[in-house]
Amino acid sequence: QVQLVESGGGLVQAGGSLRLSCAASGRTFSGYAMGWFRQAPGKEREFAAVISSGSVTKYYTDSVKGRFTISRDNAKNMVYLQMNSLKPEDTAVYYCAASSRTATIRRGEYDYWGQGTQVTVSL
């Protein structure tokens, strides 16, 4: 089992920045690819970013490329999502997830999920 706890969400004005953190505990964190997904009200949960176990591979959804950066610290069992130039359409609950597969954008290929952290971007 892997337990994931997100933090760092909040209310920010458009153009601002937030840094989300995800703390992992349980089984070997460094063996998992780690992803961030988000779910806006009334919408399906969608992929945002993923980082491979050794940080070699990173993927981003097109809408966040150039604005979001995913990183991890395997020594601290942490994964981060730095979000810059935030837009109102980034408003969502952000979820951290762990996959035992290689870095994947597919929601169904993640084994463990956190409870989520709310990000609200105002005009």
- pLDDT tens digits, one per residue of 40-83: 999 999 999 999 999 999 999 999 999 999 999 999 999 999 99
| Model pLDDT, residue 1 | 85
Are residues 55 and 69 in contact, defined by beta-carbon separation less than 8 angstroms? no
pLDDT in tens, 85-101: 999 999 999 999 999 99
15: pLDDT strictly greater than 80: yes
**pLDDT band, residue 102 (cuts 50/70/90):** confident
Tell me the per-residue pLDDT of 104-114, one tens digit each, with 9 for 90 and over: 999 999 999 99
Cα–Cα distance, 70 to 1 (Å, whole number): 23
Work out the mean pLDDT of the chain and round it to a whole number: 96
CA atoms within 13 A on the CB side of 13: 0
**Best CA proximity match to 113, nearest among 41, 13, 45, 12:** 45
